[in-house]
Chains A and B, each alone.
Chain A
Amino acid sequence: MSSASAVQSSLSPSSAASRRRKPIDELVLEFESLGDNCEFGLVQRSVGAEPLGLLRFAGFYLPVEIRLERLAAALENDFVGLGLLETISVEAAGESREFLVNESAYNLMYHSFMHEGQIDPEVLRQREATRLSFLRRKLLEDLKNGEKIWVWKSNLKLPFDQIERLVTVLRRHGPNILLWVVEAGDADRPGSVERITDNLLKGYVERFAPYHNAPDISPQSWLEVCQATYDLCRPTTVDEDDLEEAAAPETPSRPLTAMEYLVRASSSVTPPTPMPKKRSVFASWFEKLIWWR
Chain B
Amino acid sequence: MSLLTESQIYKRLTEIFREAFFRDDLRLSASMTARDIDGWDSLKQIMILVSVEQRFNVKFSTKEMDNLHCVGDLVTLIAAKIG
Contacts and interface: CB of A to CB of B under 8 A. Distances in A.
Interface string B20-50: 0000000000000010000001110111011
Interface string A102-143: 000000000001000000000000010011001100100110
Interface in A46-74: 50-53, 56-57
Contacts of A52: 42, 45-46, 49, 65
Nearest to B43: A113
A176 to B, nearest CB: 14
B46 to A, nearest CB: 6
Contacts of A131: 46-47, 50
A53 B46 CA distance: 9
B70 to A, nearest CB: 14
Given A50-B34, A131-B50, A138 B65 contact: yes
Contact of A135 (B34, B46, B53, B66): B46
B61 interface: yes
Contacts of B2: none
Interface string A258-278: 000000000000000000001
A16 interface: no
B7 interface: no
A129 to B, nearest CB: 10
A145 interface: yes
Contacts of B65: 52, 138
Contacts of A142: 62
A29 interface: yes
A178 B43 CA distance: 25
A198 B42 CA distance: 31
B42 A138 contact: no
Contacts of A278: 41
A45, A56, A113, A134 — which one has the most chain B CB atoms within 10 A of its CB?
A134
Interface string A29-50: 1000000000000000100001
Given A29-B66, A141-B61, A142-B62, A50 B45 contact: yes
Q: Which 7 A-B pairs have the closest CB atoms?
A: A50-B42, A141-B62, A134-B50, A142-B62, A130-B50, A50-B41, A138-B62
